[in-house]
Each structure stands twice: as structure tokens, then as C-alpha cells.
């Protein structure tokens, strides 16, 4: 995970990384830096899709986080997001997912988006963004609704939307075609090629 992240991070150095992650990208060593930041959670969604065994999902999520975000909260955030996606893929209902994730990871998920929004502030931590993003996804009517709810909270809205959108994709049967096409127009060809290859590989694995 570390070498791939460094390769693409260096290829796209102006993508808005956090200060410490940016520094890590350009260090020759692969040593993690103890972060509890939400970067580990916003990048983990493919793992929730790629593995069909819950033990593997949790193990790989931890590995992907720990290369940089090896603080317990950074690891927990990544595992929670990946596992939420995994449960949604299995067809588990929203309320059952809410109870399972709350029990397994200790997150407070009984709040609503309307209750969170008035007092929410900018927060870069997993513990201050992952629960809120999960709530946005679980309250959503569709993919776009999940992303809009996440953005409406303010704060670190791109991360919130990334996490909520990753979960909503599993909850609602994919990303709408018109949104996917807009993304395709914006992404560089090498990144879109990776997305396309991942989808093909995933279809083979899930047969």
C-alpha cells in the first residue's frame, strides 16, 4: 500500500493532501507518522468492495491505514468505513448496519444530520468525521443525497462526501451514470483507467 500511495501521490502532488501526509509522500522511508487524521478513512472504500470475507476486509483496511495513519483512531476509522461498505454489499439493512458499526467500533450513530449540522465544525480527525459521514450515508435516499448531506455539514466536506459516497455506492447499487460520466470527464486518463480496471477485476471476483 505504501509504495502505491507514494507513487501516485508524487505523480499528483497538488491534490490537497494534509501537511504531514505530503511530507510523508516525499520521504524515502516507508515509516508511518502516527496520524489519527481522516485520510485513512477517505481512501479505504475499495477495500470494502474488493474482499468478500469480513476478516480480510478488516485486516486489509488496517494495513492500508497503518502505512501512514498508524494511530489507533486512524486505523479504527479506516476499518469502520470498509466494514460499513462490506455490510451494505451483503444486503444488510441500514438500521442493522448502524447497530453493528456502533457496537463494533464504539461510534455514536444515533444522531441525525439535522442534529449534527448546527454545531458541526471543521475536523480533520477520524473520530470527528467518520461517524458523521456514516450517518449521512445511512440517512440517504440515494447516492447523490448522501453526498449532498455530507457537504451540507460543512467542515472537511470533501472527506465527509468521499466517505459517505463510498458507503452510499454500496447501499444504493452504484454511482448514477450521469455522475460517473462527469467524474470521467474530470479525471486524468491514468486514474480513470485504474477505476475501469478495478471494476472489471471486481466483477470477476464477485462471480
Q: Where are the domains of the chain?
A: 2-175
| pLDDT(207) > 90 | no
Cell of 55: 476478516
Per-residue pLDDT reduced to its tens digit, 14-47: 999 999 999 999 999 999 999 999 999 999 999 9
What's residue 120's pLDDT?
97
pLDDT average, residue stretch 163-184: 97
Residue partners of 170: CB distance under 8 A and separation at least 6: 48, 49, 84, 85, 86, 88, 89
Residue 206, pLDDT > 90, answer no
* pTM recorded for the entire structure: 0.96
* Cα 28 to Cα 141: distance, rounded to the nearest angstrom: 45
In order of 9, 38, 77, the CA distances from 70 in angstroms are 18, 12, 11
> Residues of the chain with pLDDT > 70: what percent?
100
Which residue shows C-alpha cell 494495513?
Answer: 63
pLDDT score for 68: 98
At 205 the pLDDT is: 84
Do 130 and 38 meet the contact criterion of CB atoms below 8 Å apart? yes
User: Average pLDDT, stretch 66-84?
Assistant: 99
Average pLDDT, the chain: 97
Confidence (pLDDT) at 53: 95
The closest alpha carbon to 54, from 7, 78, 90, 99, belongs to: 90
Per-residue pLDDT at 185 exceeds 80: yes
Matching CATH number, 2-175, of 1.10.390.10, 3.30.365.10, 1.10.357.10, 1.10.4080.10: 1.10.4080.10
- Taking each continuous run of H as one helix and of E as one strand, the counts in the chain are 13, 0
**Mean predicted confidence (pLDDT) in 102-111:** 98
Give me the mean pLDDT over the 134-163 stretch. 98
Amino acid at each position: 500500500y505504501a509504495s502505491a500511495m507514494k507513487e501516485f501521490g508524487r505523480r499528483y502532488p497538488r491534490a490537497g493532501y494534509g501537511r504531514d501526509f505530503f511530507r510523508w509522500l516525499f520521504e524515502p522511508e516507508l515509516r508511518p507518522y502516527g496520524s489519527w487524521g481522516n485520510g485513512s478513512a477517505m481512501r479505504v472504500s475499495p477495500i470494502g468492495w474488493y474482499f468478500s470475507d469480513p476478516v480480510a476486509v478488516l485486516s486489509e483496511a488496517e494495513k492500508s491505514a497503518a502505512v501512514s495513519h498508524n494511530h489507533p483512531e486512524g486505523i479504527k476509522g479506516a476499518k469502520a468505513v470498509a466494514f460499513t461498505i462490506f455490510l451494505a454489499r451483503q444486503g444488510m439493512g441500514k438500521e442493522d448496519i448502524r447497530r453493528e458499526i456502533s457496537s463494533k467500533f464504539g461510534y455514536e450513530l444515533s444522531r441525525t444530520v439535522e442534529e449534527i449540522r448546527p454545531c458541526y465544525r471543521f475536523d480533520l480527525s477520524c473520530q470527528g468525521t467518520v461517524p458523521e459521514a456514516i450517518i449521512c450515508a445511512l440517512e440517504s435516499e440515494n447516492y447523490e443525497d448522501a453526498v449532498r448531506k455530507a457537504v451540507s455539514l460543512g467542515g472537511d466536506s470533501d472527506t465527509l462526501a468521499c466517505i459517505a459516497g463510498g458507503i452510499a455506492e454500496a447501499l444504493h447499487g452504484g454511482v448514477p451514470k450521469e455522475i460517473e460520466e462527469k467524474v470521467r470527464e474530470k479525471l486524468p486518463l491514468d486514474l480513470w483507467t485504474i477505476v475501469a480496471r478495478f471494476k472489471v477485476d471486481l466483477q470477476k471476483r464477485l462471480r
